[in-house]
Amino acid sequence: MSTAQGPKEDTAHPVTHHEDIIPDHELQGWVGLAEDARHATAEEHRLSFSDAVKLYPKACMWTMVVSLVVILDGYDTALIGSLFGFPAFQKKFGHKTSKPGSYQLEAKWQTALGLASPLGNIVGIYINAFLTERWGHKKTCLGTLAFLTGVLFIPFFAKNVQVLFVGELLCGLAWGVFCTLSPAYASEVAPVVLRSYLETYVVLCWGIGQFVATGILDSLVHRTDEWAWRIPLAVQWVWPVIIVPVLTFAPESPWWLVRKGRIPEAEKSIKRLSSSQDPDHAKKSVALMIQTTKLEMAMTEGASFVDCFRGSNAWRTEIGCIVWTSQVLCGFAITSYATYFYEQAGLATTDAYKMSVGQSGLHFLCTLLSVFITGNYGRRPVLFGGYIGMGLSMLILGIMACVHQTSGLGYGESAMYLLWYVFYELTIGPLAFIIVGEISSTRLRSKSISLARNAYNVANVFSSTVAPYTLNPTEGNWKGKTAFLAAGFTIVITIWAYFRLPESQGRTYEELDILFSKNLKAWEFKDAQIDDDAAENIAKQE
């Protein structure tokens, strides 16, 4: 087992709150704490993939259940922009044009609706950091699903575009909670060897949401009544009905329970997550969590957002923010308007739409394939390979856009973008979730993930704002030359990764705490050796 949420107390000063600490009376009887923690660490390293699946089948199942909420975020991402092209949607929320019987949504409201959910997302992400610290993952997830069920009535019954905007903004709050809660929960209940697989499943759920939205929209595109846009919105009610009854029985993260000083409950949670026949298994696992918690409390004074930028935590926050932001920057502007890019490359509208559907299929397929890559070849080499492949793809695409354009070349540029997308989905697509989920300290995890995801959101808003001015024929008219921007960003990020991105695969959270405290170079993490008493020695020094 490996991961956690953290306390908020400043351990360098007298503790004045009763929460987020480990009371001394809860540790009575834990005389072999350090030895039990060493046994748990050794077991983490001994486990193979098949052994871990056999030992933690229920941890896998509950992670997959919690991750289902990410489908809602992926679904909405593909939904709202596609509705702009529906005649019934345009008639309801747009205005008449000079063409008889034609309606069009104003550009300013297209932009506003496109940004409503991301803006709500940003706020929801920070809300999640506070809710999970206080109430835990399970209660936060259930409460957010209840909130979403209510606010979905707003866009569904919207009478004008202003109400629709408010509805999308409020729904965005829920998406923000889901997209950060799921990877945090996965990293907290999964053993080390399964972290990459279960974090990749989170990405797969996001792709499933997009795929479902694409299929529903395709089946309704020819409808001319209001149900053409109401049905896709109503489908979102299906997911809470499926998820809530099952999620009600999910165990809380044992790491979070340890942070709250609820040690017996943490043991019970581990017993529910594993199938071990060893009567001391749960106690040893909790011992490792307590040991890691005590180490981090010695190394870090508090657990606020400010503490994410202090000491070695600043480096860990930097890694999370840049890795997640690189998802946007490595495909800058183009990925924000992929279908529009296909059209600007010379494809007919129908062919551009087919390319987008094919791209959704690639997302699903490549995410499945990425499980074998990210789980076996480390974080650092796979990410390097992905950055190099994406950078070369964008560079070639930009060069192709500089020569005389023909219809055949347009398909070539589109194919080159799809090649870029394959590199993306095999590497940085899932790896961003994996790295962000495991690189932060356990005490600061919810806050670190919030900061990283919102760095991504800010970059995404910037990319979406710039894209029309670079791709549009009436503005910059760069078309495929926009790829040079993405290639430039990718080169810079690749250089950063060499000097700043350490290898974290196969390390427990306690081991990562120790390695970061040693101020090693990024390339030294992989082969660094850790003494059995390292954690205790560091705690004494602090």
CA dist., res. 253 & res. 265, Å (int): 10
Tell me the β-bridge partners of 96: 103
- Distance, in Å, from the CA atom of 437 to the CA atom of 137, rounded to the nearest integer, reads 14
Please tell me the distance from the alpha carbon of residue 187 to that of residue 452, in angstroms, as a whole number: 15
Both tokens assigned to 512: 């990562």
Q: CB–CB of 494/280 below 8 Å?
A: no
Look at the pTM and tell me if it is higher than 0.85: no
Q: Is 378 left (phi over 0), alpha (psi -120 to 50) or beta?
A: left
For residues 182 and 137, give the distance between their C-alpha atoms in angstroms, rounded to a whole number.
9
**Per-residue confidence of the chain (542 residues) as pLDDT tens digits?**
443 333 333 333 333 333 445 555 455 555 466 777 777 778 887 888 999 999 999 999 999 999 999 999 989 888 887 787 678 888 888 888 777 777 777 878 877 888 888 889 999 999 999 999 899 999 999 999 999 999 999 999 999 999 999 999 999 999 999 999 999 999 999 898 998 899 999 999 988 998 888 788 878 877 888 898 999 999 999 999 999 999 999 999 999 999 898 999 999 999 999 998 888 889 889 998 898 888 887 776 667 899 999 989 999 999 999 999 999 999 998 887 787 788 888 888 778 777 877 888 898 899 999 988 988 899 999 999 999 999 999 999 999 999 887 878 889 999 999 999 999 999 999 999 999 999 998 888 889 999 999 999 999 888 878 887 887 777 777 888 999 999 999 999 999 999 999 999 989 988 999 999 888 999 999 989 887 665 555 555 55
CA distances in angstroms from 420 to 204, 213, 298, 337, 391, listed in the order given:
18, 23, 44, 15, 8
The Cα–Cα gap between 208 and 105 comes to 28
What's residue 189's pLDDT?
92
E strands present in 54-153: 95-96, 103-104
The full set of domains in the chain, from first to last, is: 46-250 (1.20.1250.20), 251-289 (no CATH), 300-533 (1.20.1250.20)
Name the token pair of 302: 């508090």
